């Protein structure tokens, strides 16, 4: 069969890339304001919760309040459990936030001659018949996407094409060909593998390599807000009943502000968490969900449906692909592939089988 090396567009000028980098440099100088605000608000929440909730509980603990198991009363065990859970959630949130903010989201690999051949030179060695079949499937809305098409796209290095002429996607800023699900971030000034979005609260792109850390940051932020809202509720009711609106007790104002914030943030974070759980289980990114799956152009939707066959492996496997093995889902650690979604070479048979 005929094999052709696909080159699609001329490379962009280096001056364009330099302009993007310098622009990115100016943006990044102010980009840390929002992450700093997250750290400041977290410190404020910790101070208020510790001063108005944990510290009074700890000071009220006595050695003999009806000792039960291990000499601790149920009240004492509740205080110590609250203290432990709050600090555990806080540490997990801060560690996930740090990893999400400082971990590279994944860049186009250029480490091996094979990488350079694909992403720098555009040599994808596509079968002519395969390319023709793909163009026919993408351009026709009536062709059924069966198992034969699924197998076809899963064996291709790159499935996604440009809208107009079906060329391979090329980034004129990075002067590189884009792997599937890769997009250029104008703020970061570089292409991001499996780009989900640029998060100003992290001052970083959310992509293949740090998506799990971003997800855990949101999850532990929701857990902290909900935990604080529940634990502080009895105290806040007593404060309101005793002091009313904090005009007569201005020193209580931080507690009212923080409690109001966590009450507002909890449902917002829950909605955000549910949305990302949905798109992850369905093998989508935010960009794919907004700009492709729900596009008004039926041919854009069609191109997404064809490319989606390559990535969608069922709900559970999609979650494993994004978060790793199930027993590590709640732990801020991630060991994935290189994020280019290239087909893996077939496993070689063992030497014993070959000898047999």
| Residue 50 DSSP symbol | I
Cα 146 to chain centroid, rounded: 30
Within a 10 A sphere around the Cβ of 279, how many other Cβ atoms?
18
Is pLDDT at 19 greater than 50 in this prediction?
no
- 105-124 pLDDT, tens per residue? 999 999 999 999 999 999 98
pLDDT of residue 347: 58
Looking at the DSSP bridge assignments, the partners of residue 190 are 185
pLDDT of residue 76: 80
pLDDT of residue 322: 95
Read off the tokens for 156.
């291709």
The tally of CA atoms less than 13 A away on the side-chain side of residue 20 is: 18
Is pLDDT at 6 greater than 80 in this prediction?
no
pLDDT of residue 261: 95
End-to-end CA distance of the chain: 32
Average pLDDT, the chain: 84
Candidates 36, 43, 89, 90; CA nearest to 201 is 36
Is pLDDT at 20 greater than 50 in this prediction?
no
| N residues, the chain | 356
Candidates 197, 330, 173; CA nearest to 272 is 197
**138 in Cβ contact with 182 (< 8 Å):** no
DSSP string across 2-41: -EE----SPPPPHHHHHHHHHHHHHHHHHHTHHHHHHHHH
- Kind plus residue range of the DSSP H or E element containing 88: helix 74-102
Backbone angles phi, psi at 236, to 5 degrees: -65, -40
**276 in Cβ contact with 215 (< 8 Å):** yes
- Residue 319 CA to residue 219 CA, distance in Å, equals 15
DSSP string across 90-116: HHHHHHHHHHHHHS-------SSHHHI
- 181-219 pLDDT, tens per residue? 999 999 999 999 999 999 999 999 999 999 999 999 999
- Angle at alpha carbon of residue 325, lines to 336 and 289, rounded to 5°: 65
Higher per-residue pLDDT: 11 or 47? 47
Within a 10 A sphere around the Cβ of 314, how many other Cβ atoms?
11
- 212-266 pLDDT, tens per residue? 999 999 999 999 999 999 999 998 888 777 755 544 567 788 888 999 999 999 9
- Residue 283 CA to residue 322 CA, distance in Å, equals 9
- Of the given ranges (11-25, 58-72, 266-280, 290-304), which has the lowest mean pLDDT? 11-25
**174 in Cβ contact with 13 (< 8 Å):** no
Higher per-residue pLDDT: 62 or 50? 50
pLDDT of residue 248: 52
pLDDT of residue 24: 39
């Amino acid at each position: 069969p005929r094999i052709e090396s696909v080159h699609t567009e001329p490379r962009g000028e280096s001056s364009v890339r330099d302009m993007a980098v310098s622009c990115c440099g100016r943006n990044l100088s102010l980009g840390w304001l929002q992450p700093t605000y997250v750290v400041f608000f977290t410190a404020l929440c910790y101070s208020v919760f510790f001063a108005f909730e944990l510290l009074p509980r700890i000071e009220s603990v006595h050695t003999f309040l009806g000792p039960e198991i291990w000499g601790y009363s149920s009240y004492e065990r509740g205080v110590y459990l609250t203290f432990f859970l709050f600090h555990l959630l806080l540490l997990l949130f801060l560690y996930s936030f740090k990893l999400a903010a400082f971990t590279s989201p994944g860049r186009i690999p250029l480490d091996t001659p094979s990488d350079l051949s694909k992403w720098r030179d555009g040599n994808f060695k596509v079968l002519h018949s395969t390319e023709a079949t793909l163009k026919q499937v993408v351009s026709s809305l009536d062709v059924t996407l069966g198992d034969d098409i699924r197998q076809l796209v899963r064996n291709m290095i790159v499935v996604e094409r440009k809208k107009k002429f079906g060329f391979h996607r090329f980034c004129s800023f990075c002067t590189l060909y884009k792997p599937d699900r890769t997009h250029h971030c104008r703020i970061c000034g570089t292409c991001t593998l499996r780009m989900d979005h640029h998060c100003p609260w992290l001052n970083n792109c959310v992509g293949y390599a740090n998506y799990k850390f971003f997800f855990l940051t949101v999850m532990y932020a929701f857990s902290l807000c909900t935990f604080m809202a529940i634990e502080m509720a009895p105290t806040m009711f007593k404060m309101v009943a005793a002091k009313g609106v904090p005009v007569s007790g201005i020193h209580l104002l931080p507690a009212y502000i923080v409690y109001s914030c966590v009450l507002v943030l909890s449902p917002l974070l829950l909605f955000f968490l549910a949305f990302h759980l949905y798109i992850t289980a369905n093998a989508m990114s935010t960009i794919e969900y907004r700009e492709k799956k729900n596009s008004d152009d039926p041919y854009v939707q069609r191109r997404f449906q064809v490319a989606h066959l390559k990535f969608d492996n069922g709900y559970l496997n999609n979650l494993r692909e994004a978060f790793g093995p199930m027993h590590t889902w709640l732990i801020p650690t991630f060991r994935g592939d290189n994020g280019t979604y290239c087909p893996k070479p077939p496993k070689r048979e063992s030497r014993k089988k070959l000898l047999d």
